[in-house]
C-alpha cells in the first residue's frame, strides 16, 4: 500500500488512490484530488523557478481559499518551509513574522497586499510577492521585491523540487508568546504526517467524510483538518464565517460529517437552533483549545444526539496530544482523556520524577509529534524542549542519545485509571491567599450557572491576597443583564471561599479573541485590571 512520509505526499497518495474524489470545496467550487495534486506540483515548480533554496520560507497571508491550501502543500513539495499567517493579523504583525524567519516569498491577495505593502520594507529577505489575481504594483512595495500573479507562477515549466526527508522542517506556526511577541514553532514532515495518521485513526476518518475547516489554517488544529482529511481521502469545506449561524448553514448545505472548533465558538453555536438535518449526517464534533463547559457540551449533545463528542487537548509545540473517547464523556466530562495513538503523555514533578495518581504535575509529551523548537530562539527552546531524564518512559542509563520531549507548562493530574484532567496553565495560574487557582476552574462554575454568555477569569494584584480573582462576563445572548449578586451567591455555594471572585465585571460582548479564536485573557486583563484595582481599593476603603 502507498504511504505518505512527507506532508505533500498526503495529497499525492489520495490522488493516486482516487483522483476523481473531491478534495476541497470553497464558495461552491470543488477541486478533485487529481486537480489539487496538479496545482501543488505547479506551485512547487514555480517556487523552484524563483530559485528558492531548500528550506527557504514562504509566507501565506490569505483567508481560507484554494490558493492557501495549494501553497501550503506546494511549498513542501518544492523542499521549502511554509509559514501560515492568520488573516486577522495586522500589517506590522505580518511584517514581524516575515522578518523573524526571513520569508523569501509572500503569497497574498491584492487587497491584503495594499494594506501590508508599507510594512514590507522591514523585511530585507523578501524577494517575491505572489498575488492571487493580477494587480497594480503598490508604490510602497520595496523596489527589490518582484511582483507576479498566481497564474504566472503556476505557468512555470515543470521542475523537480529539492530532495527532502521526514525529519526536515516543513512549517513554522506562530503562536502567542509570553513577552507579547509571537514565537515560531518549527514542525517537521514527520510531526504533521504522524499527527494526521493518529488523529484520523481515532476520529475514524474515511473517504466519505466531509470536514468543515472553520478554524484558521495558521492554528495547528485548523491545519489538522486538512492533513487528517487528505490522509483519509476525505473532502474539506473551507469556510470564512462572519457569524456562528454561517457555520450551521455550511454544515447543513455541505452535509458536514466532522466539525472541530474551540470553546468560544461552541458556546455561541450551542445557543442557536440547529437545522434538524445536521443530526442526520454529522458523525462527530471535536473540541480543542481549552475546556468545553459542561453546559455547552450538554446543549450540543441535545442539538445533535447522533454525533459523537471528542474532547481533545493539544499544544502547537507537539501538534496534537490527547483525546477523550466518546464512550467516556458521560463518566468523565471534565477529562482531556489519554494520549493519542503513537504519543506518550507523562505527568512529572519539577524534579523530573513521575507524579502519583491525582497528584498535579506538568504535562510532558514525547513521541513522533514533538516539534523542532522555536525559530531563532535558543533560550525559549531550551525551556520548553528538554531531555527526558533516565528512568522515565523506558529510558535506561545505557541510552546515549538524548530524547527531547515537550514540557508543556500546563498543569494536569492523572487519575487511577490513567485519564488526564487539565488543571491550568502555569503562566495563567492565579495565586490568591496562598492558593493556586486555575482560571478555567472559576470559569467552569460560572458557565454552569447559565447566568452569563461568556466569561474570563484572571488575577489582579492585591496587597493582602497577592492576587484577587476577577471575572469579566457578558450577558446571555448579549441581551438583558447579569445579576451579579445572584451569580456570586452561586459561586459561594459551589466554590471554596478562596476561589470566589472578588469582582465580577459585566461588559458588552463578544469578548476579544486571540488570532486562534480563543478568548484572550491577557488582553482582557490589560484592559480591565486598572479599573478592577480601583474598584477593589474602593471596597477596602
Q: In a 3-state reduction of DSSP, which class is residue 533?
A: helix
The mean-pLDDT minimum among 178-182, 428-432, 476-480, 515-519 falls in: 178-182
pLDDT tens readout for residues 114-144: 999 999 999 999 999 999 999 999 999 999 9
What pLDDT is recorded for position 228?
98
User: How is residue 99 written as a grid cell?
Assistant: 522578518
Of 352, 303, 319, 330, residue with least CA distance to 311: 330
Round to whole Å and give the CA distance between 193 and 88: 27
- Checking if the pLDDT of 86 tops 80, the result is yes
- Domain 9-186's class? alpha beta
Of 375, 422, 383, residue with least CA distance to 404: 383
Buried b (16+ CB within 10 A) or exposed e, 312-322: bbbbbbbbbbb
Average pLDDT over residues 367-381: 96
Average pLDDT over residues 482-510: 91
- Checking if the pLDDT of 463 tops 80, the result is no
Average pLDDT over residues 506-522: 89
Q: Look up the pTM and report it.
A: 0.87
Q: Are 294 and 311 in contact (CB under 8 A)?
A: no
What pLDDT is recorded for position 358?
96
Alpha helices in 50-116 (DSSP H): 66-77, 91-100, 110-116
User: How is residue 442 written as a grid cell?
Assistant: 472559576
Q: Give 540's pLDDT tier (boundaries 50, 70, 90).
A: low
Mean residue pLDDT across the chain = 93
What pLDDT is recorded for position 1?
58
Q: Give 535's pLDDT tier (boundaries 50, 70, 90).
A: confident
Round to whole Å and give the CA distance between 446 and 220: 29
CA distances from 31 to 25, 38, 222 (A): 6, 10, 19
Question: What is the percent of the chain with per-residue pLDDT over 90, rounded to a whole number?
Answer: 78
The more confident residue out of 510 and 1 is: 510
User: How is residue 274 written as a grid cell?
Assistant: 440547529
Q: Do domains 241-424 and 428-540 have the same CATH topology?
A: no
CATH 3.90.1150.10 given to domain 241-424: no
- Checking if the pLDDT of 464 tops 80, the result is no
- Checking if the pLDDT of 483 tops 70, the result is yes
What pLDDT is recorded for position 179?
43
Round to whole Å and give the CA distance between 230 and 235: 8
- Checking if the pLDDT of 180 tops 70, the result is no
Cis link prior to 496 (omega < 30° from 0)? no
User: How is residue 360 written as a grid cell?
Assistant: 498535579
Residue with cell 483567508: 63
CA distances from 274 to 247, 287, 452, 532 (A): 10, 18, 21, 38
- Checking if the pLDDT of 428 tops 90, the result is no
What pLDDT is recorded for position 536?
87
- Checking if the pLDDT of 178 tops 50, the result is no
- Domain 428-540's class? alpha beta
Strands 430-432, 435-437: pairing is: antiparallel
What pLDDT is recorded for position 426?
73
User: How is residue 49 written as a grid cell?
Assistant: 523557478
Residue with cell 514532515: 189
Give me the residue spans of the domains in the chain: 9-186, 241-424, 428-540
The mean-pLDDT minimum among 19-28, 66-75, 200-209, 446-455 falls in: 446-455
**Dihedral over Cα of 26, 31, 37, 40: its sign:** negative
Amino acid at each position: 500500500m502507498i504511504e505518505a512520509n512527507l506532508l505533500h505526499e498526503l495529497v499525492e497518495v489520495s490522488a493516486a488512490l482516487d483522483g476523481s474524489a473531491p478534495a476541497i470545496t470553497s464558495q461552491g467550487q470543488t477541486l478533485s484530488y487529481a486537480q489539487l495534486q496538479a496545482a501543488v506540483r505547479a506551485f512547487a515548480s514555480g517556487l523552484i523557478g524563483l530559485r528558492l533554496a531548500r528550506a527557504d520560507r514562504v509566507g501565506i497571508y490569505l483567508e481560507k481559499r484554494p490558493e492557501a491550501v495549494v501553497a501550503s502543500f506546494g511549498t513542501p513539495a518544492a523542499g521549502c518551509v511554509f509559514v501560515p499567517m492568520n488573516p486577522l493579523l495586522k500589517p506590522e504583525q505580518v511584517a514581524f513574522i516575515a522578518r523573524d524567519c526571513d520569508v523569501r516569498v509572500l503569497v497574498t491577495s491584492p487587497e491584503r497586499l495594499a494594506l501590508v505593502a508599507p510594512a514590507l520594507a522591514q523585511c530585507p529577505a523578501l524577494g517575491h510577492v505572489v498575488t492571487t489575481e493580477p494587480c497594480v504594483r503598490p508604490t510602497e512595495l520595496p523596489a527589490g521585491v518582484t511582483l507576479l500573479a498566481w497564474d504566472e507562477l503556476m505557468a512555470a515549466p515543470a521542475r523537480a523540487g529539492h530532495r527532502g526527508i521526514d525529519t526536515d522542517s516543513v512549517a513554522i506556526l506562530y503562536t502567542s508568546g509570553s513577552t507579547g511577541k509571537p514565537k515560531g514553532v518549527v514542525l517537521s514532515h514527520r510531526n504533521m504526517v504522524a499527527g494526521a495518521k493518529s488523529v484520523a485513526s481515532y476520529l475514524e476518518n474515511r473517504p466519505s467524510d466531509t470536514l468543515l475547516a472553520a478554524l484558521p489554517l495558521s492554528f495547528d488544529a485548523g491545519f489538522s483538518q486538512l492533513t487528517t482529511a487528505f490522509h483519509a481521502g476525505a473532502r474539506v469545506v473551507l469556510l470564512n464565517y462572519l457569524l456562528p449561524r454561517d457555520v450551521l448553514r455550511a454544515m447543513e448545505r455541505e452535509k458536514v460529517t466532522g466539525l472541530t472548533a474551540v470553546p468560544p465558538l461552541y458556546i455561541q453555536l450551542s445557543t442557536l437552533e440547529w437545522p434538524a438535518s445536521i443530526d442526520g449526517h454529522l458523525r462527530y464534533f471535536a473540541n480543542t483549545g481549552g475546556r468545553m463547559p459542561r453546559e455547552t457540551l450538554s446543549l450540543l449533545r441535545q442539538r445533535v444526539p447522533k454525533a459523537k463528542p471528542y474532547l481533545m487537548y493539544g499544544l502547537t509545540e507537539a501538534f496534537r496530544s490527547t483525546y477523550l473517547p466518546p464512550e467516556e464523556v458521560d463518566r468523565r466530562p471534565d477529562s482531556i482523556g489519554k494520549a493519542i495513538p503513537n504519543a506518550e503523555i507523562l505527568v512529572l514533578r519539577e524534579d523530573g520524577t513521575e507524579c502519583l495518581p491525582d497528584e498535579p504535575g506538568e504535562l510532558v509529551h514525547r513521541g513522533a509529534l514533538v516539534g523542532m523548537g522555536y525559530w531563532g530562539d535558543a533560550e525559549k527552546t531550551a525551556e520548553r524542549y528538554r531531555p527526558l531524564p533516565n528512568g522515565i518512559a523506558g529510558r535506561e542509563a545505557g541510552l546515549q542519545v538524548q530524547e527531547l520531549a515537550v514540557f508543556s507548562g500546563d498543569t494536569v493530574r492523572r487519575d487511577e485509571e490513567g485519564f488526564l484532567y487539565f488543571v491550568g496553565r502555569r503562566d495563567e495560574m492565579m495565586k490568591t491567599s496562598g492558593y493556586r487557582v486555575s482560571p478555567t476552574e472559576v470559569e467552569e462554575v460560572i458557565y454552569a450557572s447559565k447566568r452569563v454568555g461568556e466569561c474570563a477569569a484572571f488575577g489582579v494584584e492585591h496587597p493582602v491576597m497577592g492576587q484577587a480573582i476577577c471575572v469579566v462576563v457578558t450577558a446571555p445572548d448579549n441581551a438583558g443583564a447579569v445579576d451579579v449578586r445572584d451569580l456570586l451567591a452561586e459561586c459561594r455555594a459551589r466554590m471554596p471561599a478562596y476561589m470566589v471572585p472578588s469582582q465580577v465585571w459585566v461588559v458588552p460582548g463578544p469578548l476579544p479573541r486571540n488570532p486562534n479564536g480563543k478568548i484572550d485573557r491577557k488582553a482582557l486583563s490589560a484592559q480591565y485590571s486598572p479599573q478592577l484595582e480601583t474598584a477593589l481599593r474602593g471596597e477596602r476603603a
